[in-house]
Amino acid sequence: MTPIAKGRLFVISGPSGVGKGTLRKALFKSVQGLEYSVSCTTREPRNREIDGVDYQFIDFDHFKDLVKEGRFLEWAEVHGHFYGTLKENVERILESGRDAILEIDVQGALQVKESEPEAVLIFIMPPSEEELRSRLKRRGTEKEEDLRNRISGSRDEMLLSARYDHLVVNDDLGRALESLRRIIEGYRDPQRSPKSFP
């Protein structure tokens, strides 16, 4: 019996409000063999977010225990809340032969690359800072001070995009989705070089 080939780990990140979640959900409708690894967070659920689907919502003490036990592949504090990816979730997906998708912040993505050099990092870039601010305002989940902090943080995150394997500008959902799909399919097809994809 032929052993199942391990899946590959893809990490999607970028500034808050850039459309990572929308792109990820659209990607799952157009590409087979992917599984989303749900991250843990200490923040409260936003409107329409479901525990165990969007995030595992846990309290700070539980999060702290998981850190002490070394159970996170990566974890970080972002905008006053803690986020982390459980190693066991990612390992289960990869061992099943499926490709794992993480949608995490920049700090976490760079931690993953350090411990898992084969992971593919994809940075989602906004078309402009003005458009990013507009998207965050439309989302309506941040107070003005939080909005300013997120915009300021996004500048630092965009400077780190040079450390990613691929960059996708989300100026048009259809175009960005096609770029994302081609990157993933490029790694699956040994006849094509993934580095030739956007």
Rounded to whole angstroms, the Cα distance separating 98 from 104 reads 19
For residues 96-110, give the mean pLDDT.
94
In the DSSP assignment, the letter for residue 98 is: P
Q: What is the dihedral of CA 5, 91, 101, 55, to 10 degrees?
A: 160
State which CATH number among 3.40.50.300, 3.30.1180.10, 3.30.420.40, 1.10.3720.10 fits the domain covering 9-196. Answer: 3.40.50.300
pLDDT of residue 79: 79
Q: Percent helix, strand and coil across the chain, each rounded to 5?
A: 45, 20, 35
Average pLDDT, the chain: 87
Q: What is the pLDDT of residue 47?
A: 83
Name the helix (H) or strand (E) containing 101: strand 99-103
Share of the chain above pLDDT 90, in %: 64
Q: For residue range 41-88, what is the model confidence (pLDDT) as tens digits?
A: 999 998 889 999 989 999 999 999 999 999 999 998 887 899 999 999
- Determine the Cα–Cα distance for residues 110 and 116; give it in Å rounded to an integer: 10
Tell me, what's the pLDDT at 3? 65
Spans of all domains in the chain: 9-196
